[in-house]
Structure 1
Amino acid sequence: MNSRLIKNKALAIPFLAVYAWLVIRTSWVGDDAVITFRSLENFLHGYGPVFNIGERVQTFTHPLWFLLQAAAGFVFNLWKSNPFGQGQMYFLNVFISIGLSLLVAIIFAFNTTSSTKGAILGLLIFSVSKSFVDYSTSGLENPLTHLILLLFTLAYLTKKEDSQRSIYILGTLAALGGVDRLDTLLFYFPALILLFWQSPNKGKTLITLGFGFLPLIAWELFSLFYYGVPFPNTAYAKINTGIPESSLITQGIFYYLNSLKLDPITLLTIITVSIAGWMNRNAAHKTILAGVLLYLLYTIYIGGDFMSGRYFSTPLLICVTLLATMDFKSPKVYGFAIGIVLLVGIAPIFVIPERAPAFGVGDEGDHRVFVDERGISDERIVYTGLGLFERIKKKSAPSTNYARDKWVYLPGEPVRVRILGPLGLNSMTLGPNFHVIDVNSLADPLMTRMPLYEIERWRIGHFRHIIPKGYEETLKSGENRIENKDIALYYDKLSFIVRGELWSWERVIEIWNFNTGKYDYLLENVTPADAAE
């Protein structure tokens, strides 16, 4: 990049500052992020990367995000009088999120865009997109996902033809993206498949990609050995529902409509850039957009999410990145684009009363909790009290009675079981000496494989699987007291995997049996009638 272009791009700094201020001012953490905090506390205190001590279950969907926070937590745990105190997990999460989001914006403005105009337009879109601002923090993995995918897009657009080094870098970035969140691999697959297909030496390219994918392969092998399954427990909780595909697809469409209502600039930008990208002759843009299309279709197929806009921040980043690489030769067209972005981006703040305030999270009483008729919520309103400035104003972190040095497990005490929901803050408040059963089965390996109480009544992301009769007593006593004999036998096999001796060859055999469906027949006749009252 020449010095003149760098100097011209300095004009984008004020717009970068606006985005930075918005991210900091609106920074927050949702309850789903706090679910990971409990596993982090257990891991950092030597109890393993688990939710309930003594039971190897992965409740976080973002291993790389988990490991990044764990590394930061380890460093700060060495500092006995660090400034975060009992709120360490909360504040580290917020500051890491802010740092990653600002890094993404800086790389975008100074390394990705081809002109100052592109940088300014992109930063404006980021700043007025509710989805992008909200999920630049939130406590979830989005900021790390944004960074990895931006680097991948930049590397793909600037790659050298048939360069094994470029292929390795792209493969590694895709693998890290998969470790961060597995379903984001959809963004990467079209580009990687095309790289392989166009390579004159397919064998060498396949080997290079294999080496690049080692981080993901390593994590999956670890997950299969340690947890007994390749995917997080939350995935099984949301897959094993029995809900018709048509119902989920309908819900997914409503997820789009919700975003169009609360945050029209995000989807309109994605749609506009996608159409323009498919119409131009840039093959690299089309390949990247193919990944966006796959992810958007996947979002519909799974029913979207209960967090409004969460799944659109990453497609927006890609589309804005591609938009910013285009030439803006006509001042009139560019001025019109800026005007539309400002109008469509800012108008909803004033005309949609349900929308969270764009420039901060005020007192909890200022806003009503917004959950629409399809169960989709504006989560930043729901967790107003977990906003950074709200915590600073109250001079306290969220309920953290057992954090840091107070997170001590007492194995000699009787097992105390608690059924609750939401899972995050409530489980942190209880501390490590409670075994927590989540009403949505996010943390329980048996409940995720049970049918729903009522298949006609559900909220997306909140699927209430039955609690078998005798299961609570089983957890309290350590003896299998489940009344249904088939469920009881299934639990014996499952329990050996998640509670048995880790370095056991018999356990490895059971992991194989379990994942190849050997015991699935035991659950074929389970119905809601088997649920505890």
Structure 2
Amino acid sequence: MHLALTAAVALAVLVLGWLKRWTSDDAFINFRVVHELLAGNGPVFNAGERVEVATSPLWLAVLTVADAIVPGDAAPWTSVVLGLALTATAVTVASIAAARLWAKAPSWVVVPFGVAVFAALPPTWDFTTSGLETGLSFSWIALSFWGLVRWVQRDTPLAHRPVWLLVLLGVGPLVRPDFAVISGILLLFVVLVGAGRWWQRLLGLVFAGLLPVAYQVFRMGYYGLLVPNTAVAKESSRPLWSRGFVYLADLVAPHLLWVPALLALGLLAVLAPQARWLRREWILVVVVLAAAAVHALYVVRVGGDFMHARLLMPSVFLALCPVAALPVTRRHAAVTGTLLAGAAVWAVSSVFFLRIDYPDSVADSGLADERGFYAALAGVKNPITLADHGGAGVSAYTDQVNRAALEGRDEIVLQVVPVRPSTPMAVLAPSSGGMVFSVGNAGFYGVASSSSVFVVDGFGLTDPIASHIAPGPPGRPGHEKIFPAWYLLARYGAPELAEEVTPGLSDPAGVAASRDALSCGDAAQLIEATSGELTVGRFFSNVVHAPEMTSFRIPVDPTEARDQFC
């Protein structure tokens, strides 16, 4: 019965996720990197410049392998199908793991309580696809929980065995950087609770650290940073508690998430005494709940995200894992039944009624119903491919840029909003060489642009200088840094822009000061680290200087920057 009920929940996730299928602009950032990788240019956004724009290295690897195997431009549809499959797998594995955890409790039936709560949440449907790594995140959490349940139920769980579990727990930061919090807590649990001598505990940590440490060395040597460039652009180390609590409330309040949370605690209080858990099983449940809470607290600290609920959904799923499946026992059957009935009422309300309500899909706080926004923009119910999203003119506009690149024109071109198929190309200024495309939607326009077009994201995600501009006051999450025009022209503009007054453009003195600043000191080192030839010497130099390049910031005022660096 339990497996049948779990299969029904997994099927519901697949159906609801399919009905809400879509891909986001951020997903297309990954797709452009996949194209560059398969073209032999490396894991970069623009050929010739080493900038890490993919938040999830593991998801990028999965997409690259899939795109290499599946014929045609398969990345968008591959990401959708994989997202659905991975989320359904996560639901199934979490339910099976929880049933095993509760197996010693005498029961009439085991019901998939936690995964049903998860499946009833509308954000689950939105991010089952989206083209992002969310499905992979859920699967990693579920598999880790399943492995830990099996581990604690061994006669003598060892701190350095099994190796596969330690490696799995260790790759959390490669799924998402913020999962380092979860990985660290779960690994600490294994090391402290597992049996073994000190060197065996240390060996367990070595197994867990092999892949993430290897990738971190690669990141530092190849990109010259300790974190992805996106983390620098978004100032993810800056504490923004008030904005983070708004983000948390935006999930909890409209979906009445406190209702299933209280019901879950009530069910735990009633059923746990009947579970006959060993001490280490009790500790596992506490540790998993603590890891979920700490991860959610970290998301709150950094100020959340601009996509409704996205970064908190892994926390929610992890917290639900210990109660993903629960036994209906003979003892206290009435109380258990009442609590489960309450959960059923909430689930029905969530599926049919509980929704966010943002005017035009974006709230005053900057939080967005991202799927609703892009579906409305594309005029397509389920926008997946670039052709779907290009209905608003993306493809037609970028075709003009690509043709200009083929003609050998040297220009800086701007993205235009709104864009239609008839929108003419907006040329900002002559470039110092080639076509430079300054955009606000780096994903769509990045994939639509040919590799010969150098695409610069105005929010700093794809550019090592734009990402390192000193931050101003907190604004919309992920959209706070705007690449100053004088720096854009200094990096990519023709020499005369720093010498002659050009109507509508920045003062040439500001452009000249920007050029001077970028040619001196740490700014010059950053440009050389990301654009210079990658020799063995430069790789090791980047490793050594990665900490200071990560913390380095460029004043918005170019004169101040020149005085500071030169």
Fold shared by both chains (TM-score > 0.5): yes
2:480 to 463, 476, 481: 463
Deviations 1:496-528 (A, max 9, x none): 1111111241553255235346994x84x6548
Aligned to 1:462, the other structure's residue is in SS state: coil
1: CA distance, partners of 2:218 / 2:139: 25
Aligned to 1:96, the other structure's residue is in SS state: helix
Question: Could you say if the C-alpha distance between residues 309 and 291 of structure 1 is closer, same or farther in structure 2, counting changes exceeding 3 Å?
Answer: same
Question: Could you say if the C-alpha distance between residues 151 and 348 of structure 1 is closer, same or farther in structure 2, counting changes exceeding 3 Å?
Answer: closer
1: CA distance, partners of 2:361 / 2:213: 40
Aligned to 1:464, the other structure's residue is in SS state: coil
Of structures 1 and 2, the larger Rg is shown by: 2
Q: Corresponding residue for 2:43? A: 49
TM-score (norm 1): 0.82
Q: Corresponding residue for 1:483? A: 513
2: CA distance, partners of 1:510 / 1:468: 28
Q: Does 1:306 align with 2:323?
A: no
Question: Could you say if the C-alpha distance between residues 153 and 412 of structure 1 is closer, same or farther in structure 2, counting changes exceeding 3 Å?
Answer: same
Aligned to 2:40, the other structure's residue is in SS state: coil
Q: Corresponding residue for 1:226? A: 222
1:252 to 221, 228, 244: 244
Q: Corresponding residue for 2:427? A: none
Q: Unpaired segments of 5 or more residues in structure 2? A: 273-278, 410-432, 499-510, 562-566
> In 1, are the aligned partners of 2:10 and 2:89 still within 8 Å (CA)?
no
TM-score (norm 2): 0.77
2:442 to 423, 429, 441: 423
Q: Does 1:142 align with 2:142?
A: no
Question: Could you say if the C-alpha distance between residues 75 and 240 of structure 1 is closer, same or farther in structure 2, counting changes exceeding 3 Å?
Answer: closer
Question: Which stretch shifts more, 430-439 or 382-391?
Answer: 382-391
Task: Write the mapping of 1:6-155 to structure 2, written as runs, cut at 5 A.
Answer: 9-76=3-70, 79=71, 85-86=72-73, 88-114=74-100, 117-155=109-147
Deviations 1:29-76 (A, max 9, x none): 111111111111111111211111110101010000000000000112
2: CA distance, partners of 1:430 / 1:264: 43
Aligned to 1:383, the other structure's residue is in SS state: helix
1: CA distance, partners of 2:9 / 2:75: 30
Question: Which stretch shifts more, 31-40 or 316-325?
Answer: 316-325
2: CA distance, partners of 1:519 / 1:321: 37
2: CA distance, partners of 1:38 / 1:518: 24
Q: Unpaired segments of 5 or more residues in structure 1? A: 1-6, 80-84, 357-367
2: CA distance, partners of 1:423 / 1:126: 31
Aligned to 2:161, the other structure's residue is in SS state: helix
Q: Corresponding residue for 1:340? A: 342
2:367 to 369, 372, 376: 376
> In 2, are the aligned partners of 1:255 and 1:308 still within 8 Å (CA)?
yes
1:191 to 186, 193, 196: 186
1: CA distance, partners of 2:290 / 2:68: 39
> In 2, are the aligned partners of 1:277 and 1:286 still within 8 Å (CA)?
no
Q: Does 1:324 align with 2:324?
A: yes
Aligned to 1:347, the other structure's residue is in SS state: helix
> In 2, are the aligned partners of 1:59 and 1:232 still within 8 Å (CA)?
yes
Q: Does 1:174 align with 2:194?
A: no
Task: Write the mapping of 1:394-409 to structure 2, written as runs, cut at 5 A.
Answer: 397-399=388-390
Q: Corresponding residue for 1:360? A: none
2: CA distance, partners of 1:433 / 1:395: 19
Q: How many aligned residue pairs are there?
A: 494
2: CA distance, partners of 1:97 / 1:345: 23
Aligned to 2:234, the other structure's residue is in SS state: helix
Aligned to 1:296, the other structure's residue is in SS state: helix
1:156 to 117, 131, 148: 148
Shift of 1:126: 2.4
1: CA distance, partners of 2:379 / 2:142: 26
Q: Corresponding residue for 1:435? A: 454
How big is the alpha-carbon RMSD for the aligned residues of Structure 1 and Structure 2? 3.6
Percent identity for Structure 1 against Structure 2: 22
> In 1, are the aligned partners of 2:436 and 2:453 still within 8 Å (CA)?
yes
Higher RCO, Cα 8 Å, sep 6+: 1
Q: Corresponding residue for 1:359? A: none
Q: Which amino acid aligns with 2:436?
A: V
Q: Does 1:496 align with 2:520?
A: no
Deviations 1:340-370 (A, max 9, x none): 33333343566567459xxxxxxxxxxx632
Q: Corresponding residue for 1:472? A: 489
Q: Which amino acid aligns with 1:337?
A: L
